[in-house]
Structure 1
Amino acid sequence: MPPSLPPPSSLPALLSPTVPAAWLAALPDVVAAGLSSGWPWLFTLAEWLIRLVMLVYVPQRRAPAAARTWLLLIFFLPWLGLLLYALFGRIYYPKSRRLKLARINQGIERVRGPLERFAPVQPLPAGVSADAAGLIERLGSYWPMRGNAVELMDDYGAVVARMIADIDGAARQVHLLVYIYAADATARAFTDALLRAAARGVQCRLLVDALGARAGWRAFAQTLRHGGVEVVQALPMRSLSAVLKGKSARFDLRNHRKILVVDGSIGYIGSQNVIDAESTPGLPNEELVARVTGPVVTQLQAVFLADRYLETGETGEAAQTERGGFVAGNFPPPQAAGAHTAQMLPSGPGYGTQNAQMALVSMIHRARARVVITTPYFVPDEAFLQALQLACYRGVAVHLVLSRRIDQRFTQAAQEAYFGVLLDAGVHIHLYKPAFLHAKHVTIDDEVAMVGSTNMDIRSFALNAEAALVIYDHAVVARMREIQARYFRDSAQVDRAAWQRRPLRRRTWQNLCRLADSLL
Structure 2
Amino acid sequence: MAAVTLPDPRTAWYAAEWIIRIGALAAVPLRRSPAATASWLLLIFFLPVPGLVLFLMIGRPHFPEWRQQRWKALHPYFADIAARIEADAPPGECSEIGGFAHRLGRLPACGGNMVELIDDYDGMIDRLVGDIDGAAERVDILVYIFANDMVGRRIAAALGRARTRGVAVRVMFDPVGSHHWRRGTLKLLRGIDVDVREALPVRWLWRRTRSDMRNHRKLFAIDGRVGYAGSQNLVTKDFRPGVVNRELVARVTGPAVASLMAVVAGDWSLETEDEPAAVTIPDAVGHARVQLLPSGADYPLEGFETLLVWQLHRACDRVVLVTPYFIPDEAVLAAMRSAAARGVTVDLIVSAVVDQHIVHLAQCSYYDALLSAGIRIHLFRDFLLHAKNVSVDSRLGIVGSSNVDLRSFQLNEEASLLLYDSDAIGALERIQEAYLDGSDCVDLMTWRARPKVRRLIENIARIMSPLL
TM-score by length of 2: 0.96
TM-superposed deviation, 1:220: 3.0
TM-superposed deviation, 1:227: 2.2
Q: Which of 54, 69, 84 pairs up with 1:99?
A: 69
Amino acid at match of 1:298: A
Whole-angstrom distance in 2 between the partners of 1:84 and 1:232:
28
SS of the counterpart of 1:249? coil
Structure 2 gaps of 5+ residues are: none
Partner of 1:352: 300
TM-superposed deviation, 1:116: 2.4
Partner of 2:161: 196
Say if 2:382 is the partner of 1:417.
no
Partner of 1:54: 24
SS of the counterpart of 2:251? strand
Whole-angstrom distance in 1 between the partners of 2:129 and 2:223:
14
SS of the counterpart of 2:235? coil
Contact persistence 1:178–1:258 (CA under 8 A) = yes
Q: C-alpha deviations, 1:195-218, integer Å up to 9, x for none?
A: 110111000000111211233331
Partner of 1:213: 178
Partner of 2:411: 463
Partner of 1:141: 106
SS of the counterpart of 2:233? coil
Say if 2:30 is the partner of 1:82.
no
Whole-angstrom distance in 1 between the partners of 2:31 and 2:269:
29
Partner of 1:115: 85
Amino acid at match of 2:254: G
TM-superposed deviation, 1:225: 2.3
Whole-angstrom distance in 2 between the partners of 1:346 and 1:357:
12
CA RMSD across the alignment: 1.7
TM-superposed deviation, 1:112: 3.3
For 1:237-386, list aligned pairs within 5 A: 237-239=202-204, 241-242=205-206, 247-315=207-275, 325-327=276-278, 331-386=279-334
Whole-angstrom distance in 2 between the partners of 1:139 and 1:359:
9
Whole-angstrom distance in 2 between the partners of 1:326 and 1:103:
14
Contact persistence 2:337–2:370 (CA under 8 A) = yes
Whole-angstrom distance in 2 between the partners of 1:49 and 1:116:
55
Whole-angstrom distance in 1 between the partners of 2:92 and 2:277:
29
TM-superposed deviation, 1:105: 1.7
Partner of 1:28: none
Contact persistence 2:353–2:382 (CA under 8 A) = no
- Identify which range, 187-196 or 217-226, moves more after superposition: 217-226
Relative to structure 1, the CA distance from residue 464 to residue 123 in structure 2 (aligned partners, 3 Å threshold; closer, same or farther) is closer
Whole-angstrom distance in 1 between the partners of 2:32 and 2:238:
39
Whole-angstrom distance in 1 between the partners of 2:297 and 2:92:
34
Relative to structure 1, the CA distance from residue 144 to residue 51 in structure 2 (aligned partners, 3 Å threshold; closer, same or farther) is same
TM-superposed deviation, 1:313: 0.6
TM-superposed deviation, 1:119: 5.5
Contact persistence 1:255–1:464 (CA under 8 A) = yes
Contact persistence 1:107–1:326 (CA under 8 A) = no
Relative to structure 1, the CA distance from residue 435 to residue 270 in structure 2 (aligned partners, 3 Å threshold; closer, same or farther) is same
Partner of 2:144: 179
Whole-angstrom distance in 2 between the partners of 1:424 and 1:134:
35
Contact persistence 1:270–1:289 (CA under 8 A) = yes
Partner of 1:318: none
TM-superposed deviation, 1:121: 4.4
Say if 2:460 is the partner of 1:487.
no
Relative to structure 1, the CA distance from residue 123 to residue 133 in structure 2 (aligned partners, 3 Å threshold; closer, same or farther) is closer
SS of the counterpart of 2:187? helix
TM-score by length of 1: 0.87
Whole-angstrom distance in 2 between the partners of 1:516 and 1:280:
25
Partner of 1:27: none
TM-superposed deviation, 1:280: 1.4
- Identify which range, 475-484 or 371-380, moves more after superposition: 475-484
Amino acid at match of 2:22: L
Q: C-alpha deviations, 1:463-519, integer Å up to 9, x for none?
A: 000001001011111111111111111111100111112111011100100001111
Whole-angstrom distance in 2 between the partners of 1:216 and 1:304:
22
SS of the counterpart of 1:460? helix
Amino acid at match of 1:422: L
Q: Which of 361, 377, 391 pairs up with 2:339?
A: 391
Relative to structure 1, the CA distance from residue 249 to residue 350 in structure 2 (aligned partners, 3 Å threshold; closer, same or farther) is farther
Q: C-alpha deviations, 1:424-476, integer Å up to 9, x for none?
A: 11111000012000000000111111001000000000000000100101111
TM-superposed deviation, 1:161: 0.7
Whole-angstrom distance in 2 between the partners of 1:165 and 1:153:
14
Structure 1 gaps of 5+ residues are: 5-32, 125-129, 316-324
Amino acid at match of 2:358: F
Q: Which of 339, 344, 354 pairs up with 1:406?
A: 354
SS of the counterpart of 1:398? strand
Partner of 1:499: 447
Contact persistence 1:111–1:326 (CA under 8 A) = no
Q: Which of 70, 80, 86 pairs up with 2:40?
A: 70
Partner of 1:19: none
SS of the counterpart of 1:54? helix
Partner of 2:122: 157
TM-superposed deviation, 1:187: 0.6
SS of the counterpart of 2:211? coil
TM-superposed deviation, 1:258: 0.2
SS of the counterpart of 1:480? helix
- Identify which range, 142-151 or 350-359, moves more after superposition: 350-359
Q: C-alpha deviations, 1:384-411, integer Å up to 9, x for none?
A: 1111010001111000000002210000
Partner of 1:434: 382
Partner of 1:9: none
Q: C-alpha deviations, 1:42-100, integer Å up to 9, x for none?
A: 22222122112212221123221111000100111111111101111112312222122
Relative to structure 1, the CA distance from residue 169 to residue 119 in structure 2 (aligned partners, 3 Å threshold; closer, same or farther) is closer
TM-superposed deviation, 1:120: 5.5
